[in-house]
Structure 1
């Protein structure tokens, strides 16, 4: 299978030289998503829960466009600027992944793009080929 790029209006436009997602060999990988509102290009709020919710919403839109879904996610990475926010992000995360949890890593980092508080990426199986 050839590599296909996911680029949609329902997720933030990349702020650098990367794709929102890449589909290859029946899998989709999303780039890290911060809590950007796709319509405004601005962070959605000053708190980690609001930003995590938007980041996961953006991931969900990218997966849908790729022919996948949150149910097909096998791996997630969460980057936090403050590990004290772990439980707040978990509470939001549980709204998106209620059962059959994907494997996950969570790491604290010194800084994220646009001074976001959280960044999340995912890897998922593609159910069907996305239409373009």
Structure 2
């Protein structure tokens, strides 16, 4: 393990038994992120579009804290509480990757705290 990455957030935020990101061998591995407000440490539930945006904004802050951009993301795994919302989530997701799209797996999953989406990713560092 080379380095642990945590974005700027509420110092009382408890991440549990994981790191937001780990840099190993030129890659950043980002743990599953959801629609959490890093300032209040609270889930921010909303529409699939709203939760996808906040989730990807959280990922973006972790990626940038590691010195990369969303263009460096090479793989995402996405968990949706309701796969019927795929098309709506995908519209928002696509705006974060306007160039070459990362490889992606999307599945329906039972998610904690009534969230609608959770995303983890792998980033090739520049």
In the alignment, does 2:114 pair up with 1:115?
A: yes
Q: Distance in 2 between matches of 1:42 and 1:85?
A: 23
Q: Distance in 1 between matches of 2:43 and 2:91?
A: 20
Equivalent pair of 1:11/1:61 in contact (CA under 8 Å): no
Equivalent pair of 2:6/2:21 in contact (CA under 8 Å): yes
Structure 1 match to 2:19? 19
Count of residues in Structure 1 that have an aligned counterpart in Structure 2: 125
Equivalent pair of 1:74/1:125 in contact (CA under 8 Å): yes
Distance verdict in 2 for CA 1:10–1:61, change over 3 Å: farther
Equivalent pair of 1:68/1:126 in contact (CA under 8 Å): yes
After superposition, give the CA deviation of every residue in 1:21-69 in whole Å (9 maximum; x if it has no partner): 0001110010010011111222223211101100000000000111111
Structure 1 match to 2:47? 47
TM-score w.r.t. the length of structure 2 is 0.91
What is the CA RMSD across the aligned residues, in angstroms?
1.7
Structure 2 match to 1:35? 35
Question: Greater strand share, 1 or 2?
Answer: 2
Equivalent pair of 1:10/1:58 in contact (CA under 8 Å): no
In the alignment, does 2:9 pair up with 1:4?
A: no
TM-score w.r.t. the length of structure 1 is 0.87
- Stretches of structure 2 that go unaligned for 5 or more consecutive residues are none
Compute the displacement of 1:14 (Å): 4.9
Structure 2 match to 1:88? 88
- Stretches of structure 1 that go unaligned for 5 or more consecutive residues are 128-132
